[in-house]
């Protein structure tokens, strides 16, 4: 079979043969198709990148129709059952699972960099008492770039590696500080005797005790959630990371941009919206009325639907199992029954079936976060902590891609043609 496609331009009658590689044509191959000598050449128009591959990648594979998610080839189900978040972060960033010496070195490097400069703490103290934690998080990550001037050396692989370790290590610290600030508790310093998640829980919830001991079931549940959220190929925030990083800005600034993209309720902010929606619905008997409003286009069922998954999101399945383990320790979240009823009714409804709308990762994650004692407005921050390793893996892949160029889309200009300036007194 010939791996080409033939295009006939009916405007000129000319025929073009374009190569097909990995199921795609190169948009630049369209440029040769011109209606006349002064024609710029054909472009493809794809608002919101519905059908455009913006890069090649070897990190995450998704088959949205089959509900498959793999990091570096490993099924998400196996990683969630057998791995840890830091091991998965290593895998995503380096391409292969670490051997024990590599894992030990990676974990101890991350531990070495959990602290933030005291001035970062002071910087965070400047936020208003009711500032949204995600706003604080985004700004603080951006502020980190001012502390590490070597981060500008983006073409130096050793410098890139150092910033990656720092970012992965400091995210839980910044996240926990946003929480402590919002409730007016003194910031708790990292405890490097503890693992990544146990240390995060300690920085969140430690009071006056010498050592904070997290419940191992809850610690593991958090690990699973972090694994599930680590990467998801070219989503809105990964695209922001690559786009901002493509101008050679430092990784702190690019990560802050990615976190800002994540914050939106259509992306990582959906977990927060799901909880607010469940509270607003209030009880199971109100579910049919709510679904009616969704059908009428008055509101969205948050935590449902996905650009790529047209089947059950495999992460949502795993989260449901994790929720059971958590609720055995914390007692059942009363909103769970409501969420289950919402899912049951939605999955029977024609509106959702015909549009292939299924629960996504955000539908159930908030119920677990809530059971862990994490307030609703912290949920997007909880997403950003583990997604940082994914963003950085996408950034590193882009930086070492021989095809890397500044991201700069084209537009279809539909505005006014050239016209002459009219002085103010002559304007109507
Ligand atoms: N509730 C009700 N209707 C929905 C929903 C929803 N959650 N999601 C999509 N639809 C409808 C749309 O209105 C549209 O209907 P139409 O064809 O009659 O116009 C159809 O389904 C297709 O939806 P699009 O918005 O075109 O799908 P798109 O791929 O652009 O959007 C998105 C995907 C943003 C995730 C969307 O499904 C949504 O808004 N979901 C709710 C927010 C959410 O849960 N976001 C988290 C996604 S996962 C993540 O980012 C981590």
- At what angle are helices 133-144 and 157-183 packed, to 10 degrees? 150
Q: How far apart are CA 422 and CA 288, in angstroms?
A: 58
Give the model's confidence band at 334: pLDDT under 50 very low, under 70 low, under 90 confident, else very high: confident
pLDDT digits (tens, 9 = 90+) for 195-241: 999 999 999 999 999 999 999 999 999 999 999 999 999 999 999 99
pLDDT at 44: 97
Q: Which of 223, 231, 362, 377 is catalytic?
A: 362
d(CA 279, CA 288): 15
Q: What pLDDT sits at residue 106?
A: 98
Ligand 1 mutation pick, 302, 305, 347, max ligand atoms within 8 A of CB: 305
Mean of all residue pLDDT scores within the chain: 97
Pair 98, 81: CB distance under 8 Å: no
Residue bearing the CA closest to ligand 1, atom 9:
305
- What local confidence, expressed as pLDDT, does residue 122 receive? 96
Q: What integer pLDDT is reported at residue 268 of this predicted model?
A: 96
Token readout for 169 is: 């290590």
CA 164 to chain centre: 16
List pLDDT tens digits, range 32-50.
Answer: 999 999 999 999 999 999 9
Give me the residues paired with residue 9 across strands: 14
pLDDT for 73-96, tens place per residue? 999 999 999 999 999 999 999 999
Which pTM value belongs to this model?
0.96
Q: Is 22 a catalytic residue?
A: no
CA 189 to chain centre: 26
**CA 300 – ligand 1 centroid, Å:** 8
CA dihedral in degrees (48, 54, 56, 57; nearest 10)?
-50
Q: Stretch 302-315: mean pLDDT, rounded?
A: 94
Tell me the pLDDT tens digit for each residue of 103-140: 999 999 999 999 999 999 999 999 999 999 999 999 99
Does 420 participate in catalysis according to the annotation? no
Please report, rounded to a whole number, the percentage of residues in the chain having pLDDT higher than 90: 98
Q: Residue 311 gets which letter from DSSP? A: S
Residue nearest to atom 12 of ligand 1 (CA): 355
Report in angstroms the alpha-carbon separations of 147 from 119, 166, 256, 262, 364: 10, 11, 15, 24, 37
411 CB burial (10 A radius; 0-12, 13-18, 19+): exposed
| Ligand 1, pocket residues at CB < 6 Å | 235, 266-268, 270, 294, 300-307, 355, 357, 360-362
Residue 301: closest CA among 341, 260, 259: 341
For ligand 1, atom 10, the nearest C-alpha belongs to 305
Q: Which of 267, 285, 350, 420 is catalytic?
A: 267
Which atom of ligand 1 lies at the shortest distance from residue 303's CA? Answer: 44
Task: Give the count of beta carbons closer than 10 Å to the beta carbon of residue 85.
Answer: 24
Ligand 1 centre distance from Cα of residue 305 (Å): 5
- Check if 267 is active-site: yes
Q: Measure 132 CA to ligand 1 centroid, in angstroms.
A: 25
Instruction: Give the Å distance between the CA of 356 and the centre of ligand 1.
Output: 10
Q: Which residue, 230, 251, 229, is CA-closest to 240?
A: 251
* Residue with CA nearest ligand 1 atom 35: 306
Active-site residue identified among 231, 232, 306, 377: 306
Atom of ligand 1 nearest to the CA of 294: 2
The tokens describing 73, both together, are: 């080839």
Give distance in angstroms: CA of 346 to centre of ligand 1.
14
């Amino acid at each position: 079979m010939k791996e080409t496609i033939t295009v006939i331009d009916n405007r000129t009658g000319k025929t073009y043969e374009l190569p097909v590689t990995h199921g795609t044509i190169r948009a630049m191959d369209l440029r040769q198709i011109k209606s006349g000598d002064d024609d710029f050449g054909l472009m493809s128009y794809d608002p919101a990148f519905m059908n455009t591959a913006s890069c090649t990648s070897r990190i995450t594979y998704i088959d949205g129709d089959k509900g498959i998610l793999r990091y570096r080839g490993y099924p998400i189900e196996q990683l969630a059952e057998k791995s840890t978040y830091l091991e998965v972060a290593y895998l995503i960033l380096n391409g292969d699972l670490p051997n024990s010496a590599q894992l030990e070195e990676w974990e101890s490097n991350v531990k070495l960099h959990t602290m933030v400069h005291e001035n970062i703490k002071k910087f965070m103290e400047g936020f208003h008492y009711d500032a949204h934690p995600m706003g604080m998080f985004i700004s603080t990550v951006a502020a980190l770039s001012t502390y590490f001037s070597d981060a500008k050396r983006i073409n130096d692989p050793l410098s890139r590696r150092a910033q990656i370790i720092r970012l992965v290590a400091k995210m839980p610290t910044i996240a926990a500080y946003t929480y402590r600030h919002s409730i007016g508790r003194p910031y708790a310093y990292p405890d490097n005797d503890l693992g990544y998640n146990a240390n995060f829980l300690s920085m969140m919830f430690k009071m006056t005790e010498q050592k904070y001991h997290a419940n191992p079931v809850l610690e593991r549940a958090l690990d699973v959630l972090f694994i599930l959220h680590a990467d998801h190929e070219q989503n809105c925030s990964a695209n922001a990371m690559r786009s901002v990083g493509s101008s050679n800005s430092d990784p702190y600034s690019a990560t802050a941009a990615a976190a800002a993209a994540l914050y939106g309720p259509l992306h990582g902010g959906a977990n927060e919206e799901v909880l607010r929606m469940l509270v607003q619905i209030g009880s199971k008997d109100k579910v049919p009325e709510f679904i009616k409003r969704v059908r009428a286009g008055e509101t969205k069922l948050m935590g449902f639907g996905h650009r790529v998954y047209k089947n059950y999101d495999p992460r949502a399945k795993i989260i449901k199992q994790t929720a059971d383990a958590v609720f055995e320790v914390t007692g059942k979240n009363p909103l769970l029954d409501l969420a289950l009823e919402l899912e049951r009714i939605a999955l029977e409804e024609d509106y959702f079936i015909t549009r292939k709308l299924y629960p996504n990762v955000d539908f159930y994650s908030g119920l677990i976060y809530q059971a862990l004692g994490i307030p609703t407005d912290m949920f997007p921050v909880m997403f950003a902590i583990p997604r940082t390793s994914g963003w950085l893996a996408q950034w590193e892949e882009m930086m070492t891609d021989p095809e890397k160029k500044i991201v700069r889309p084209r537009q279809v200009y539909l505005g006014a043609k050239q016209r002459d300036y009219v002085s103010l007194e002559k304007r109507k």
